Amino acid sequence: MKHLSILTSVCCCLFIPSFLRGAETYDVVIYGGTSGAIAAAVQVKRMGKSAIVVCPEKHLGGLTSGGLGWTDSGNKDAIGGISREFYHRVWNHYQNSSAWKWQDSSSFGNRNQSPPGPQGDGATMWVFEPHVAEAIFESLVSEYQIPVHRDRWLDRDPNTGVTKQKGRITAIQMTDGSRYAGKMFIDATYEGDLLATAGVDYHVGREANSVYDENWNGIQVGVLHHRHHFVKPIDPYVQPGDPSSGVVWGISDEDPGEKGSGDHRIQAYCFRMCLTNLAENRIPFPKPNDYDPSRYELLLRVLDSGWRELFNKFDPLPNRKTDTNNHGPFSTDNIGMNYEYPEASYQQRDLIIQQHEDYQKGLMYFMANDRRVPADVRTAMLEWGFAKDEFPETGGWPHQIYVREARRMVGQYVMTEHDCLDRKTTPNSIGMGSYTVDSHNVQRYIKPNGKVQNEGDIGVKTPRPYEVAYGAIIPKQEQCENLLVPVCVSSSHIAFGSIRMEPVFMILGQSAATAACLSIDRGESVQQLPYPILKNQLLADRQVLELEIEYPFDSRKIPGTVIDNQNAQLQGNWTASTANRAFVDGDYQHNGNTGDKSANYLAELAAGRYQVSLSYPRNANRATNVPITIHHADGISHASVDQTQTPERDGLFHSIGTYRFDGTAKVIIGTENTDGYVIIDAVQFLKQP
């Protein structure tokens, strides 16, 4: 028997496939050290499977532990499962008086905290210091005994980095030669290196609006949202007014492209700095080795124009610290300097990251020290610096650049703005998002009038929390049967702008792990996994898959065809508001009583006569002469609405007439020559007998 067992052992070794020899083997191999990766690993262990996290990073948690302590989340009731548990652990941490070293907890108050959630989950806290987040991630991998192999970089050569057999990944190899075999693989990186190396389809850059029939995806020349654009005219030339002198640093002299068309550009990156104005814990802004004050000439011109919003995104964290983010026309976003990053080699990425670090450190040093900076700005900036007790190994500098987007998989289902803006029913929900459909600026160009402008900044509020489809985290079956992608999800550029929030990455990481484990149990590909089985497990594990929000006036419940402002095509910079009632769905928008803007409402109608009505909340500061243009089957008609008067129907809708339609109906609300604030809310088409 002894000899037989030895022989059996030898025979087994002889039949180990060559691609598995020397490989560590797990049920689920997770590549990446982001917050989504850790959530995925925890879920795998909870479901009784083996997991390993293999990551290029030395620190766990990605942006959540890398400076993004002011959580971008939208409606927090849409956040469940392990993601919500993380923020409950944050809340628990700050209940201990020892957590408040530099500030009394009462002075911070209950800022950005929530009571127990809709499923009886514990109270949560959505603001935190970076080291607190990292400690929580480390405690999770310790509690669940999850092996983590750090500083391991995927070999991105498809011939050696990923081994596939019959449409399934069997093993992955790192640049140091280490190999990891598994039944399922999860790419939880910000860059999507594993999905790309595995031969899965992906996209980089902005798709044209025509690709997915979107409004906000492609080049956005002429569209100005938020306050991240040049409000006053700023000259772009080295010698003002002289194009032959060249442009100042940070401005492209290339044509920006046509509105709505696609391009290779991606939204700008920055570091989310943790700053403090507490002298005992402050490191003064250092002068970087690659310091070049000429990079900030454009900022000087903005400051000279009177702009002073520098501190608007110094969001407060506990212990007198901040999560400092980009704000304004010239800030920490290094616009236009990251286009090559998604596809770049590791060495090239390191150079791009270093360039961003030098730019941003130089910006802070410049504002605090350069004598050309207005004295009020310099004096205020000198009070700030890096926190000594955050990122101590790098002198207070974050270890993770904010990769706002890189590759995006083109998978079984592509999330678009139609999903985010509630224009369609999203199938097979595995979690929810609710943050604004958002993009930072993508390029800085010269307008035909010879002045500089930023392009690409978008901020369109989602009307309600939306579902994320299971098909958005899995490839097409013919490309890979055992890979899930919870970070570089299958989505358009602008949809990703809403999905790309850290709480959502944790949600999707947990859901990806759940699908991986269930697929192992059933011996199926991830594409074949029946959704009802996945849904039941997700609900059992406290994921939030749908969240019905009841509005006083819900566009889906109002008679007729109702197009809300969120689904209108907007020209110009409109501002969302809820200050006055009544309005349809979650908000209305106004023009700020400035500029020529318009809102186009489109509807597909069966042949017939329809009463057309506008909703708006009245106010004395509204325009009395809002111009309305109606395109109907018999031609074009014009009307004028006095928005200082209360709408006659339910205090909500004002009729502008009855018209015949057959196919596409279009109503345009304009602002030209108006005498007050113009409101856009909803347009109703009510069929008449």
Instruction: Show Cβ contacts of residue 204 under 8 Å, excluding neighbours closer than 6 positions.
Output: 264, 266, 342, 343, 406, 407, 408
Instruction: Check whether 636 has a pLDDT greater than 60.
Output: yes
- Whole-number pLDDT of residue 5: 38
Interval 520-537 mean pLDDT: 98
Domains in the chain: ranges and CATH = 21-203+464-540 (3.50.50.60), 561-687 (2.60.120.260)
For the sheet containing 588-590, what is the strand order? 575-577, 588-590, 679-680
Residue 394 gets which letter from DSSP?
Answer: G
User: 204-228: per-residue pLDDT in tens?
Assistant: 999 999 999 998 999 999 887 767 8
Instruction: Check whether 401 has a pLDDT greater than 50.
Output: yes
Of the pLDDT bands very low, low, confident and very high (cuts 50, 70, 90), residue 658 is very high
Instruction: Check whether 6 has a pLDDT greater than 50.
Output: no
Interval 446-471 mean pLDDT: 93
Of the pLDDT bands very low, low, confident and very high (cuts 50, 70, 90), residue 550 is confident
Asked if residue 148 lies in contact with residue 33, where contact means CB atoms within 8 angstroms, the answer is yes
User: 283-334: per-residue pLDDT in tens?
Assistant: 999 999 999 999 999 999 999 999 999 999 999 999 999 999 999 999 999 9
Based on the number of CB atoms within 10 Å of its own CB, is 437 exposed (0-12), middle (13-18) or buried (19 or more)?
buried
Instruction: Check whether 544 has a pLDDT greater than 80.
Output: yes
Q: Measured between alpha carbons, how far is 148 from 438 in angstroms, rounded to an integer?
A: 33
User: 587-620: per-residue pLDDT in tens?
Assistant: 899 999 987 899 999 999 999 999 999 999 999 9
Please, which residues bridge with residue 680 across strands? Answer: 589
Asked if residue 325 lies in contact with residue 332, where contact means CB atoms within 8 angstroms, the answer is yes
- Whole-number pLDDT of residue 19: 54
Of the pLDDT bands very low, low, confident and very high (cuts 50, 70, 90), residue 573 is confident
Residue 29: its H or E element = strand 23-31
User: 78-92: per-residue pLDDT in tens?
Assistant: 999 999 999 999 999
Spell out the alpha helix ranges (H) of 243-312.
297-304
Spell out the alpha helix ranges (H) of 464-545.
493-499, 502-522, 531-540
Average pLDDT, the chain: 94
Percent of the chain residues past pLDDT 90, beyond the cut:
85
- Whole-number pLDDT of residue 18: 58
Higher pLDDT, 13 or 396: 396
Instruction: Check whether 27 has a pLDDT greater than 70.
Output: yes
Residue 156: Cβ within 10 Å count: 17
Look up the pTM and report it: 0.86
Higher pLDDT, 98 or 224: 98
